[in-house]
Amino acid sequence: MVEKKNPLKLNKLQLRTLALAQVIANDPTASMKNDSSDEVTLMKLPHIHGNHVHVGPYVVSAKDASGFNNPSVWVVLGRKGLAHGDPSGVVTLTATGVMYDTGLNDKFMEVSDH
């Protein structure tokens, strides 16, 4: 049986935000992995400056990264078991969130020139 794309029915903003969070989760200087649970805590979320934001080695359009500052996105990702946060704003991707195939990992990112 073929795996269904986006089985949790995330919308475009939620998918983009999760894909960018996964990039941060793969950067050992920006995240911390819990080996016992396979969850990854994002040490800090990037801040938009001008019309773009730096996510790991990539430059991403501010529009594509707008979910980082949208609490509703994180509520949905939490409800679907992909992420959770604490009152201080620290975000942790669950093991499911780390592995979820957004289908977007190479669609809207380009390597930074600065």
Nearest to 20 by CA among 75, 114, 89, 98: 98
**How high is the mean pLDDT of the chain?**
89
Q: Within a 10 A sphere around the Cβ of 104, how many other Cβ atoms?
A: 16
* CA 97 and chain centroid, separation: 8
Three-state secondary-structure class, residue 29: coil
Q: At 112, is the pLDDT very low, low, confident or very high (cuts 50, 70, 90)?
A: low
* pTM for the whole structure: 0.89
Buried-exposed string 76-98: b where 16+ CB fall within 10 A, e elsewhere:
bbbebebbbbeeeeebbbbeebb
Q: What is the mean pLDDT of residues 101-114?
A: 70
Q: Which of 13-22, 32-41, 69-78, 104-113 has the lowest mean pLDDT?
A: 104-113
Residue 9, pLDDT score: 96
